[in-house]
Amino acid sequence: DGPIKNLPPVEKKTTDFITNTIDPEIFSAIQLNEACRLLEEGVLKSYELIDKVLFKGSFMPGPFALGKTKYKEWAEKLDDFAEKSGKTYLKPCDMMKLGRFLDYK
């Protein structure tokens, strides 16, 4: 039905931050980090289960599908993003940073 109308204006500094700072892969990195925290905290025991549930619910691959090969790169991106944004809770957990989730197949 067309674009959303009457949206509030977005400040230039916000659009500049998004355009110049946010790597599209950051969203996948955040998702992988949060899924790793579920494993780290013992909420779930298998990364395959997380991927299966997410696929069934969204018909999109879960965070571990790509994360198994990109976790080191994504951990660096998250560290950088957390630093630039001042959001320390976005720093990658050890489970992600060190690839320990691979032991939780």
pLDDT at 79: 96
What pLDDT band is residue 2 in, cutting at 50, 70 and 90?
low
Please state which CATH number belongs to domain 27-103.
1.10.1040.10
Tell me the per-residue pLDDT of 14-37, one tens digit each, with 9 for 90 and over.
888 888 877 889 999 999 999 999
What is the distance between the alpha carbons of residues 55 and 62, in angstroms, rounded to a whole number? 6
Q: How far is CA 11 from CA 5, 20, 23, 48, 63, in A?
A: 17, 14, 20, 41, 32
